[in-house]
Structure 1
């Protein structure tokens, strides 16, 4: 999965196959920008803060966020140093068109020291998973041979919640995501800050959730490796545990619909649509509904915050 996605992102425009929230509506990035400005205030308004994004796509989210903060939060805007965690040269070039003042990194470890606000939207779901199957108390790990899965007996049982296996006895483990979040938690606990992670997933192990999208359609995951986007549902329970192992606190997860609604999605959409031609206004409102309605992205997608210990309640996560 890791090799296939590396090849895919290096050689394809992923947005020809799928659309992420920032590409659906500018409001998404604007709300994240406003949220980050409030978080900066809760951090004590440090004179310099690292504003980072992991997996920034085309740079649309950050461009929308920065346009908003330049207008309504100029002190925060000036304090920000923008950094992207991105390995794809193709996507780095796209990001540079929209956020030319950013600095780029291959991973979290090379970010500069200091207070951090990090955003990761649909980042964890593309990191490579392992799949295990339990049958009559025996554990197997799922491997790939050619275009088929091959289950091989495990010499020792993995540390996974067997009672959360799906009907086929399958559980997934996203070790790169857990390592990333644990390192992020350690960084935030020791240097201060907050991370906002938004992705599609579940509160516990999702079972078999591996999927592929090619040409805007679902495709067999093992077919034409490197030619499709491979993702899996995020286990937000595992993410929270990883953050706490790093020494950080966690707020959430909450559904994306609840999170964006609390941040003012609907009033912003109404304001943005006001005075526009009827068709354009209808498109703005439809995009907002797509982000928040339970039958669209509002329920399946969730938000979780990783914070320094004892951090006050965050916008969108407060009871």
Structure 2
């Protein structure tokens, strides 16, 4: 029987000691031989999870109109770099480019860049965008993007893939939650004494509560801030997460749209943790960029005109009215994606006013 990612993780932890939650999630998602995104990403109703672009074309179309309006407010430059980080199966960018046909000058100005580490997803993006008005090029990191033209960047459900370490307050003080190995060679959570490098949260935490700290999310924000400061432009972040500092264990694994134990089958399920918007936006500000407030996805999409767009679709297809209404509710209703998902942007220069905020 072939060695699994779990086999390798068990052996490594037995040799080197308990692994941080952040390191474990990174291995489960990106290990070259067994990581979820490296080997078996499955999006959509028939896969493991669904994202907003797959719920309705309205989402991508409105993001496309948002990008056009930002380009216009930047002065409609002759060259603009349209960047998507983590483009999934390419549906969002396909809808963005279709909406952009309304403004041919924007499409003529676009240099399309996709940042995608997953080889299977790159192949799917290439297939879906093969006949697009603008042909993409793929890069592996933000620092590879040239800064001689303004940037309009989209990152939908990217922050939740950038993991956090977990710390827990005990009666005796703080400890880090790490992943170890049982006598039966299974993975298990345990606590490890903190040796340093931990800044206690400024908000109140009760004993037994978990605090998540994501250096990867903060680093991503700093990289975005450096990019938009150097080139000018804006980076739009949409994700599920917290808009205020707070405690909570948000680690989850999804397989076939159901939550499963994140330790049972490493690499075979999608692992996520909440976006920490306070940390992300603070990191961007400290790097010298400006940021918007953090608003709910429902409020953001309504400000962009999603309700009017839904009515136009219903007028064109009255028979599809119930489906379109369900899609609208899925994206904007408080008890669905409308409140849990948030939107925020990092931008420069300060005078740039961004639509939707």
Normalised by the shorter chain, which TM-score bucket? Answer: over 0.9
- 8 Å contact kept, 1:33–1:65: yes
Helix, strand or coil for the counterpart of 1:299?
helix
Task: Classify 1:226/1:165 alpha carbon distance in 2 versus 1 (closer, same or farther; 3 Å).
Answer: farther
Deviation, structure 1 residue 207: 2.1
Task: Classify 1:195/1:152 alpha carbon distance in 2 versus 1 (closer, same or farther; 3 Å).
Answer: same
TM-score (norm 1): 0.95
Q: How many angstroms apart in 1 are the aligned matches of 2:145 and 2:215?
A: 21
Q: Deviations over 1:39-86 (max 9, x none)?
A: 01111111101100011101111100101101x111111111111110
Q: Does 1:237 align with 2:271?
A: no
Structure 1 residue runs of 4 or more that deviate by more than 4 Å after TM superposition: none
Provide the aligned C-alpha RMSD in A: 1.5
Report the counterpart of residue 118 of structure 1 in structure 2: 153
Equivalent runs, 1:69-148 vs 2, <5 Å: 69-70=100-101, 72-100=102-130, 101-113=135-147, 114-136=149-171, 138-146=173-181, 147-148=187-188
Gaps of 5+ in 1: none
Of 74, 85, 108 in structure 2, the residue corresponding to residue 43 of structure 1 is 74
Of 38, 42, 45 in structure 2, the residue corresponding to residue 10 of structure 1 is 38
Gaps of 5+ in 2: 1-24, 182-186
Of 287, 291, 310 in structure 2, the residue corresponding to residue 269 of structure 1 is 310
Deviation, structure 1 residue 176: 1.2
Helix, strand or coil for the counterpart of 1:148?
strand
TM-score (norm 2): 0.85
Q: How many angstroms apart in 2 are the aligned matches of 1:167 and 1:45?
A: 54
Of 134, 152, 163 in structure 1, the residue corresponding to residue 203 of structure 2 is 163
- 8 Å contact kept, 2:233–2:349: no
- 8 Å contact kept, 2:310–2:328: yes
Task: Classify 1:309/1:214 alpha carbon distance in 2 versus 1 (closer, same or farther; 3 Å).
Answer: same
Report the counterpart of residue 26 of structure 1 in structure 2: 57
Task: Classify 1:166/1:83 alpha carbon distance in 2 versus 1 (closer, same or farther; 3 Å).
Answer: farther
Q: How many angstroms apart in 2 are the aligned matches of 1:163 and 1:52?
A: 36
Q: Deviations over 1:88-124 (max 9, x none)?
A: 0100011011223111111111112231000000011
Q: Deviations over 1:266-300 (max 9, x none)?
A: 1101101224252x221112101110000000000
Deviation, structure 1 residue 138: 2.1
Q: How many angstroms apart in 1 are the aligned matches of 2:75 and 2:206?
A: 45
Report the counterpart of residue 343 of structure 2 in structure 1: 303
Deviation, structure 1 residue 12: 1.4
- 8 Å contact kept, 1:214–1:229: yes
Q: Does 1:188 align with 2:218?
A: no
Q: Does 1:207 align with 2:248?
A: yes
Higher CA-based Rg: 2
Q: Deviations over 1:160-209 (max 9, x none)?
A: 41525466231111111110110110111122010000000012245211
- 8 Å contact kept, 1:117–1:195: yes
- 8 Å contact kept, 1:201–1:233: yes
Task: Classify 1:121/1:160 alpha carbon distance in 2 versus 1 (closer, same or farther; 3 Å).
Answer: farther
Helix, strand or coil for the counterpart of 1:163?
coil
Q: How many angstroms apart in 1 are the aligned matches of 2:197 and 2:205?
A: 14
- 8 Å contact kept, 2:174–2:193: yes
- 8 Å contact kept, 1:270–1:285: no
Q: Deviations over 1:132-185 (max 9, x none)?
A: 112246221111113211211112261241525466231111111110110110
Q: Tell me which moved more, 164-173 or 2-11.
A: 164-173
Task: Classify 1:165/1:199 alpha carbon distance in 2 versus 1 (closer, same or farther; 3 Å).
Answer: farther
